[in-house]
Each structure stands twice: as structure tokens, then as C-alpha cells.
Amino acid sequence: MELNRRKFTNMLIGGGLLGWLASVLYPLFTYLIPPRVEEQSLNSVKAGKVDDFPPNSGKIIKFGRKPVLLIRTETGDFRAFSATCTHLDCIVQYREDTKHIWCACHNGMFDLTGKNIAGPPPRPLMPYGVRVQKNEIIIEKPTNLG
């Protein structure tokens, strides 16, 4: 009887301990497993492979919370600009016909250096850096702009 009680307590403690350990270690270990999404680097983002971008095309890339317009010009080089229109924050796009950056909201236009050339936008688009590394396009925050 006495022995049974003891056994019971020990089992209770053992079971409790095991369960407790599991409920502490499980979150712990899953915490340590690197998350599926790569940790966002705040200074650069991978935009994809060079071959995914035909010349004379543009694509919006999410740079953290900021949309960035990546352009491959007719001559094949890459450029990137903040895609937020300097007028009223619409998202600009690359126009394959005019070969300009265009904001549909009020027909704002920017040239391929980001300069505002027509319509209401008051300021140029901020340029981002683009680097090609092993066929991979990397967009970088311009270092001189904080």
C-alpha cells in the first residue's frame, strides 16, 4: 500500500516532468529552427534570375515594405527605383511602348534615370542599387541614403 502510493507519486512526478519538459522544449527547439522565410535583410533583396527578365520589361519587387520597380532596359542593363509615385503614392510601372516609367493615376512620367518628366509628380523616383551576382539579381538600398 505504502509502496504503491510512493510509486504513484513517483509516476506522477515522472509523467509531469516529461510532459513539462516537452511543453518547454518543443517551443524552444522550434524557435531555434530557422524560419522558412529568410530573415529579411534590410539592405538588399533578391529579385530573381537574370533570365526571368527579358530586355525592355519591368517588374515590381517587394523590398520589405517598399515596392521597388526593377527595369531591364532595351540594352539589357538593370535599374531599380522606388515604385511609389512622388505625387500621390500610386505604384508606377514600366511602359514597354514608351520606354518610360509611368504612373497610371495621373499620367505622371519618369525617364529611365527616375527623373520626373511629365505630369504632376514633383520629384524624381529614388534610385536603388542593382547588382548581378552569379546570374542572380540583387536590389540594394542606396548606401548614401540612410
Binding residues for ligand FES (CB under 6 A): 85, 87-88, 90, 103, 105-106, 108, 119-121
CA distance 142 to 127: 7
H-state helical runs in the chain: 2-32
Beta-carbon contacts of 59 under 8 Å, excluding residues fewer than 6 positions away, are 47, 53, 69, 70, 94
State the nearest-atom distance from the C-beta of 96 to other proteins, in Å.
Answer: 20
Q: Which of ligand FES, other proteins, none is residue 97 near (CB under 5 to 8 Å by kind)?
A: none
Residues 19-58 that bind other proteins (CB under 8 A): 19-20, 22-24, 27-28, 30-33, 35-37, 39-40, 42
At 19, the amino acid letter reads: G
Site for other proteins in 107-146 (CB under 8 A): 107, 116, 118-123, 146
Size of the site for other proteins (CB under 8 A): 47
- Among candidate residues 107, 90, 94, 102, the one with its CA nearest the CA of residue 59: 94
